[in-house]
Amino acid sequence: MALVDTKKMFEMAYNNGYAVGAFNVNNMEITQGIISAIAEEKAPLILQISKGARSYASMSYLRAIIDVAVAENPDIPIVMHLDHGDTFEICKQCVDDGFTSVMVDASKHPFEENIRITGEVVKYAHDHGVVVEAELGQLGGIEEDVVGVSHDEIAKHLTDPDQAVEFIEKTECDSLAVACGTSHGAYKFKTEPTLAFDVIQKISEKLPDFPLVMHGSSSVLKEFKDLINKYGGDMPDAMGVPESAISEAAKMAVCKINIDTDLRMALTAKIREVFVTKPGEFDPRKYLGPGREAIKKMVKHKLNILGCSGKAAECM
């Protein structure tokens, strides 16, 4: 099966109370780890590529890797999605490159400007048969050196449900990333966080059947943080989004859940372990291989948390 867009998977996820995992890919091992988990679990998949991934691996290499994944898994619907496109130009480039879904993230701009940029991307993408995710509100804690952000600070930037209605009417985007208390990276919260489920609930009451997206959804798994620190790393204690909160959001209007940090940590933990326990090792396959295997195991676990295991067929 060729690459698909998100329409059918979001419809099924919305109606059946689960969410599709959106995993960031930057190289072959990360992609293979994710794909082998998906193939075993028979889950729908969104592979997302950031601007940084495009410039690190180059689009032609990433595209070739994804083409192999699609060809080898004809029974799995796979979306190729741009993560956090911050200008019209990058979104247009990805539409032209054959992405089936793009995210325009103009959330750092004032409301009217966000509407203008998003509307421009929607027009171009829809004319080319590509769906658009937009963002309204601001995620907390993007500064990588700050552990956690106060609840008051996060609350100020949560998505306003009334604004969300106006934003979607005016831009005609296909899904919306909302700020509901999550944040990007490994240093999210000092203590167990409470997500703003009331924001998700209010938006979904005002916009029935409209798919929402949750960014910053890594759980910062203790298993990997401990391994990283045991083998010479230095990651401060911080908490991610609890998996119970992920499951709860997935049962609501949240149809796409973004995970990158947990992949990075799984790979890093295993590479560090090999470097320390086998200091003579210099064959990249001997440390990237265990990293790829750890990603597979972790993604399989996530698919069960999201509730999308076994759902590939109904999303075709």
- Return the active site residues: 83
CB contact at 8 A, 219 and 306? no
CB contact at 8 A, 206 and 161? yes
159 binds, among ligand 13P, ligand G3H, Zn ion, none (CB under 5 to 8 A by kind): none
In whole angstroms, the minimum distance from the beta carbon of 16 to ligand G3H comes to 27
Is residue 53 involved in binding ligand G3H (CB under 6 A)?
A: yes
Query: 52 vs 232, which CB is nearer to ligand G3H?
Result: 52
Positions 198 through 257 that interact with ligand 13P (CB under 6 A): 215-218
22 Rama sector, left if φ>0, alpha if ψ -120 to 50, beta otherwise: beta
Rounded Cα distance between 187 and 23, Å, is: 19
b vs e for 48-84, b when ≥16 Cβ sit within 10 Å of the residue's Cβ? Answer: bbbbebbeebebeebbebbeebbeebeebbbbbbbbb
CB contact at 8 A, 39 and 296? no
Copy the structure tokens of residue 245.
């909160």
b vs e for 201-237, b when ≥16 Cβ sit within 10 Å of the residue's Cβ? Answer: ebbbeebeebbbbbbbbbbbbeebbebbeebebebee
> Radius of gyration of the chain from Cα atoms?
19
Copy the structure tokens of residue 192.
């167990």
Rounded Cα distance between 234 and 211, Å, is: 38
Query: 76 vs 263, which CB is nearer to ligand 13P?
Result: 263
In whole angstroms, the minimum distance from the beta carbon of 88 to ligand G3H comes to 18
CB contact at 8 A, 262 and 246? no
Is residue 81 involved in binding ligand G3H (CB under 6 A)?
A: no
Query: 22 vs 274, which CB is nearer to ligand 13P?
Result: 22
Q: Which listed residue (54, 215, 256, 311) binds Zn ion by CB under 5 A?
A: 215
Query: 36 vs 50, which CB is nearer to ligand 13P?
Result: 50
Is residue 256 involved in binding Zn ion (CB under 5 A)?
A: no
H or E stretch covering 23: strand 20-24
Is residue 184 involved in binding ligand 13P (CB under 6 A)?
A: yes
Is residue 246 involved in binding ligand G3H (CB under 6 A)?
A: no
In whole angstroms, the minimum distance from the beta carbon of 239 to ligand G3H comes to 17
Rounded Cα distance between 114 and 112, Å, is: 5
Is residue 261 involved in binding ligand 13P (CB under 6 A)?
A: yes
Question: x/- binding map, residues 265-304, to ligand G3H, per CB under 6 A?
Answer: ----------------------------------------
In whole angstroms, the minimum distance from the beta carbon of 283 to ligand 13P comes to 29
218 binds, among ligand G3H, Zn ion, ligand 13P, none (CB under 5 to 8 A by kind): ligand 13P
Positions 67 through 106 that interact with ligand 13P (CB under 6 A): 83-84
In the DSSP assignment, the letter for residue 107 is T
Where does this chain bind ligand G3H (CB under 6 A)?
A: 24, 50, 52-53, 83-84, 184, 260
Where does this chain bind ligand 13P (CB under 6 A)?
A: 24, 83-84, 184-185, 215-218, 258-261
Where does this chain bind Zn ion (CB under 5 A)?
A: 215, 258
